[in-house]
Structure 1
Amino acid sequence: MKRKTAQRNGSAILWAVLVMLMISLISAGIILVDRMYFMREQEENNRLQAKFYAESAIELVQSDICKEGTALTDGTDGTYTSMYVSAGNTAETFTISFPDAANWTCTVTVNHSVVNDSESDVNKKRLSGEIYLTAKVTRNTSGGGEKELSEVCAKLAVKNNIWQLIGFYHL
């Protein structure tokens, strides 16, 4: 009789260990899936934040360009000239810094295409054609490389001798 009781006690312990092992495996699987969802959500938040940074950089450059040609209010003669607008068909790249994004870099490429390049008046050249703004946000990775997070484009055109934003394009 004692032998059957000992076998029952041994099998109960074995079942308890197997049940605990199965619970541990299921818990580990749930934790792994949860971690993947967390990382995916964090990447999506980074992409969305980068998109907002890129749009903000374009709006900063665009607001400076839209002042082009307006009268100066500091008492000097002349009109305001934006550093972003060239007098010819050029593309220049500028780095825009954001104080709360230490390891992120935002570069804005300003591509000014002048329609009438034969115009001799520099001010008329500067207020002609179209301007395409492209903002690209990248971040430094732990491996020493860069990862592109977002790229946003915008188009400016001249209407009534004033630069105006036509719209945003998300790439």
Structure 2
Amino acid sequence: MLHKQGDANMKRKTAQRNGAAILWAVLVMLMISLISAGIILVDRMYYMREQEENNRVQAKFYAESAITLVQQDILKEGTVTDETTGATYQSIFVSDGNTAETFTISLPDAGNWKCTVTVNHSVVNDSETDANKRRLSGEIYLTAKVTRNTAGSGEKELSEVCGKLSVPANATQWRWDGYYQL
């Protein structure tokens, strides 16, 4: 009888040890799983931040390219295009009055991105009657804004770049003054 009772106690202790070992194994596996999930989550957060930073850099490049495109066209304003007739180039971005116009420039490799360039021409000499002279006076402020479509039909602004052109006193050409911050 003692022998049977000792065997039962031994089996019970062995079962308790096995149960505790299984419980510890499950807890260790759970901890490993949680740590792995945390590492994956942190890695994903860093990836998303890096992707956003890459988007901002790319958007700034697009905005600067749009400003350069418009600026180069404006700098041609007033240049002679035909020697025999004396015809001069007229940029679509220059007006003969105080105007602000917005143009959309498509980005060939970014389908859900949009670049909007606002051209604000401020004519200094409003009393000038010659339209060509008015076109070559004042200052032009350029603002290029790059946005990206987001889920739910929203837009997220990625970059904004501003530039300025002016006509110095007694000059007949626009001059690029450079980029500036708002």
Question: Which of residues 54, 57, 80 in structure 2 aligns to 1:71?
Answer: 80
State the partner residue of 1:163.
174
Going from structure 1 to structure 2, the CA distance change for 1:25 and 1:110 (only over 3 Å counts) comes to same
Q: Which amino acid aligns with 2:172?
A: N
Is 2:11 the counterpart of 1:8?
no
Q: Distance in 1 between matches of 2:160 and 2:64?
A: 9
In structure 2, what residue type is equivalent to 1:90?
A: T
Separation in 1, partners of 2:45, 2:85: 60
1:87 corresponds to: 96
SS at match of 1:72: strand
Equivalence for 1:42: 51
Length-normalised TM-score, structure 2: 0.88
Q: Which consecutive unaligned segments of at least 5 residues does structure 1 have?
A: none
The AA in structure 2 aligned to 1:166 is D
- Runs of at least 5 residues in structure 2 that lack an aligned partner in the other structure: 1-9
The normalised TM-score by structure 1 is 0.94
Task: Using the aligned pairs only, state the percent identity.
Answer: 79
Q: Which moved more, 1:27-36 or 1:158-167?
A: 158-167
Letter in 1 for 2:127: S
User: How many residues are matched?
Assistant: 171
Give how far 1:46 is off: 1.0
**Residues 71, 43 of structure 1: alpha-carbon distance in 2 compared, 3 angstrom cutoff:** same
- Contact (CA 8 Å) 2:82, 2:88: kept in 1 or not? no
Amino acid aligned to 1:23: I
